[in-house]
Amino acid sequence: MDKKDFDVIIVGSGPNGLSAAIRLQQAGVSVLLLEAKDTIGGGMRTEQLTLPGFYHDVCSAIHPMAIGSPFFSKLPLADFGLEFVHSPLAAAHPFDDGTAAFLARSLDDTAQALGVDADVYRRLVKPVADHWEAVAEDSLGPFSFPRHPLIMARFGLNGLRSAAAIAKRFSTTAARGLWAGMSAHSIQPLTNTASAAIGIILSAVGHRHGWPVPKGGSQAIGNALAQYFISLGGEIQTGVHVSSLSQLPSHHAVMFDLTPKQLLKIAGDKFSPHYKRQLSRYRYGPGVFKVDWALSGPIPFTAAECRQAATVHLGGTFEEIALSEQRAYDGQHNAAPFVLLTQQSLFDERAPAGKHTAWAYCHVPNGSEVDMTTIIEKQIERFAPGFRDLILAKHTMNAQQMEVYNPNYVGGDINGGIIDIRQLYTRPAMRISPYRTSAKGIYICSSATPPGGGVHGMCGYHAANTVLRDIF
């Protein structure tokens, strides 16, 4: 193999760019990682968005998939400063009567609190929680014959159903609401085929590993990954915006932690007409509208369970949340949307003494510029009267501004493309390997490849293995 400046260049330092870089460097391949911004991390960044001393996660906030990732869990990230903090409850879901369902580390505690629906919940989640490592190995990657066929067959019988179909098994408002909040993380209509999969996975990994926050903020994950990569001999350059392949030093392969929209702009002239058509037809899903607050005190949730959870799902009943998700998908804004809220400062020091931070978003039509701040605050006030009185300052980003901040969030789509049944394993195009493009030596490793969005690094890990097989 002829001598090059680098064996592989990776463009983009999100969780998948970093995981690909680490996997290749572990194999003795020389890697240069390029990042357009001045800091690495992609969706793993923490900044003082509101007032001095108030630290907010700009994008991702809660990290069940990071701690449950088959790749990240094997890395010595604790040696590079990464520490996870767990709240007493992983997540809570309040209702208008002042009660709340919850996701606890204990599956039995969660199930028993659901009363008559306890056994239904156990049958749905326990098989995956008990065999999480096997399920993760087979589901968090490209389509292939499973190594654990019986376990995956059982998971598939439920996971390939719609969340709405699964909801019919529950008879209580509490269980149906809790299930809706879990499934709504899929950012698609709850009537869609396979929308149940994310609800099952997030519940199961919560029982197995919890829903932790990184101490100090999500930036801590990116920093630990980057420092480990550098310790292996890798090189990182920030402030480098790549708009053409001609900018890159000589290399044997280049990997893009970018979605199809950006990839076409940079390297589209290298691709076959058929592959270019496939990428141009790639579908993005609903966007998000996000708010961060600096608060004078903790959020006064009526339900005690909500004051014990770093994550709170706001939306009430299954029917309300299902309507909210359908409307966002259909290009409509909702007056009472599903709101995903986190309150990390209750459990991790993110604000001056006695003060707090809060982080929330709702799903909106892709590309929306509508300001949803008042609507989101109304949803919080619904379950936490007096919340507005605590607000010292706020910072907002609409769906368009989310894309400006991170071009991978096309139209505010934080999943890098909708993860419905049509794009579950065929993202970004229907190919034998989703990580190869039609051009030799050019690969894609972003959340636009299987298994999709989330801070788990598995897209980058599998893409790196493809590069190793193909070239090295």
pLDDT for position 1: 61
In the chain, the amino acid numbered 173 is: T
Q: Could you tell me the two tokens for 64?
A: 């069940």
Question: What is the distance between the alpha carbons of residues 434 and 430, in angstroms, rounded to a whole number?
Answer: 7
Q: What is the CATH number of domain 6-82+214-284+407-471?
A: 3.50.50.60
Question: What is the distance between the alpha carbons of residues 320 and 269, in angstroms, rounded to a whole number?
Answer: 46
DSSP tag of 12: -
- Give the helix/strand (H/E) hosting 262: helix 260-267
Neighbours of 24 (CB within 10 A): 28
pLDDT for position 219: 98
User: How do the pLDDT tens digits run along the chain, 472 residues long?
Assistant: 677 799 999 999 999 999 999 999 999 999 999 999 999 999 999 999 999 999 999 999 999 999 999 999 999 999 999 999 999 999 999 999 999 999 999 999 999 999 999 999 999 999 999 999 999 999 999 988 899 999 999 999 999 999 999 999 999 999 999 999 999 999 999 999 999 999 999 999 999 999 999 999 999 999 999 999 999 999 999 999 999 999 999 999 999 999 999 999 999 999 999 999 999 999 999 999 999 999 999 999 999 999 999 999 999 999 999 999 999 999 999 999 999 999 999 999 999 999 999 999 999 999 999 999 999 999 999 999 999 999 999 999 999 999 999 999 999 999 999 999 999 889 999 999 999 999 999 999 999 999 999 999 999 999 999 999 999 9
Instruction: Tell me if the pTM is above 0.75.
Output: yes
312: left (phi over 0), alpha (psi -120 to 50) or beta: beta
Say how many Å lie between the first and final Cα of the chain, rounded. Answer: 9
183 near 174, Cβ under 8 Å?
no
Q: Under 8 Å CB-to-CB from 150, ≥6 apart: which residues?
A: none
3-state secondary structure 203-216: HHHHHHHCCCEECC
In the chain, the amino acid numbered 223 is: N
Task: For the chain, give every domain's residue range.
Answer: 6-82+214-284+407-471, 86-211+289-400
pLDDT for position 143: 87
Q: Which of 391, 332, 331, 322 is nearest to 360 (CA)?
A: 391
Question: What is the distance between the alpha carbons of residues 436 and 229, in angstroms, rounded to a whole number?
Answer: 23
Question: What is the distance between the alpha carbons of residues 324 and 331, in angstroms, rounded to a whole number?
Answer: 11
112: left (phi over 0), alpha (psi -120 to 50) or beta: alpha
* Sign of the Cα pseudo-torsion (361, 365, 367, 371, in order): negative
Q: Could you tell me the two tokens for 173?
A: 């408002």
171 near 116, Cβ under 8 Å?
yes
Topology of domain 86-211+289-400, CATH:
Polyamine Oxidase; Chain A, domain 2 (3.90.660)
pLDDT for position 4: 79
E strand intervals along 234-346:
235-238, 251-256, 287-295, 309-314, 339-342
